[in-house]
Amino acid sequence: MGGTPTLPGPDLAGPDLADPDLVEPDLVEEVHSVAYWFDAVADHLRRGLAAVSDREGGDAATEGTDRLLTVLANYALGELTALEGAGGLVELAGDRRAKTFLATQTLDEARHLEVFTRRMRSLGVDDPDAEMERRAHPALQAFRERLLGLVHDGDWESAVFAQNVVLESMERAVFDAHRLDADLRTRVVLDGVIADERRHLGFGENQLGRRLAAGDERLARRLSELRAELDPLVMGAVEGVAAEIGLAPDRVARLRDDYEAAVHRLGLS
């Protein structure tokens, strides 16, 4: 079996985009740039692909392999959803900086999808797409349909909320929990993905947070209504994956808290 490098966790240093009050116009210009994105991803791009470099270095099947494959299939479908969502949002974005950021996010999501499907192949899967379809939780599939519908309808605010706040918060909470007990190869993959999710979440919170902080009641009502619609789908998907990972009830409760904290930062009830 091929060796897997022992590597540190994700580097989460850098501007905190999750706080709208800290992001000044000049900083927005910087962190939405392709150059900033390239510097941010160069290291964990190499690490993530090295962890799932080829089929010959695959893992021997174990008692937990089937459950891990179900988890990875759900992760991959989530990233496919984010890939298609971010790509569609590029056209909807109203300014150059947002379009540029979403273009880099689209590349991030494509890379995430690639490393998760490669990890599936390293576990013996010949057709990751078929496994994604077969194993994905119904709640995640329903969320995917709703998010892509918002993008298709051109609903910028709702689509950004669903993609860059709700989906990114859900994924980061689950990935953070999973990496604590994951095998080394899977943990290296998760570390690189987590580092990206922070930037994606910050973009969503800044796009919406300033307007909400300024008292945009129409937007607050719309997003609160959408949250009420999406929350059952999010928690259904989270609980399904948590069961496959084998998380204890108290850790599942913390997952809910972590997800809700991101939404509450926007001031939504």
CB 32 within 8 A of CB 96: no
Exposed / middle / buried, residue 209 (Cβ in 10 Å: 0-12, 13-18, 19+): buried
154-158 LR contacts (CB < 8 Å, sep 24+): 154/92, 156/89, 156/92, 156/93, 156/94, 157/208, 157/219, 157/222, 157/223, 158/222, 158/223, 158/226
pTM above 0.85, yes or no: no
pLDDT in tens, the chain (269 residues): 344 333 333 333 334 444 444 455 555 566 666 555 556 665 655 554 555 554 445 554 565 899 999 999 999 999 999 999 999 999 999 899 899 999 999 999 999 999 999 999 999 999 999 999 999 999 999 999 999 999 999 999 999 999 999 999 999 999 999 999 999 999 999 998 998 888 888 889 889 988 898 999 999 999 999 999 999 999 999 999 999 999 999 999 998 998 888 888 888 86
214-219 LR contacts (CB < 8 Å, sep 24+): 219/157
Tell how far CA 221 is from the center of its chain: 25
Q: Which domains does the chain have, with CATH numbers?
A: 23-52+61-264 (1.20.1260.10)
- Which DSSP string corresponds to 225-257? HHHHHHHHHHHHHHHHHHHHHT--HHHHHHHHH
Please state, as a whole number, how many other Cβ atoms lie within 10 Å of the Cβ of residue 37: 20
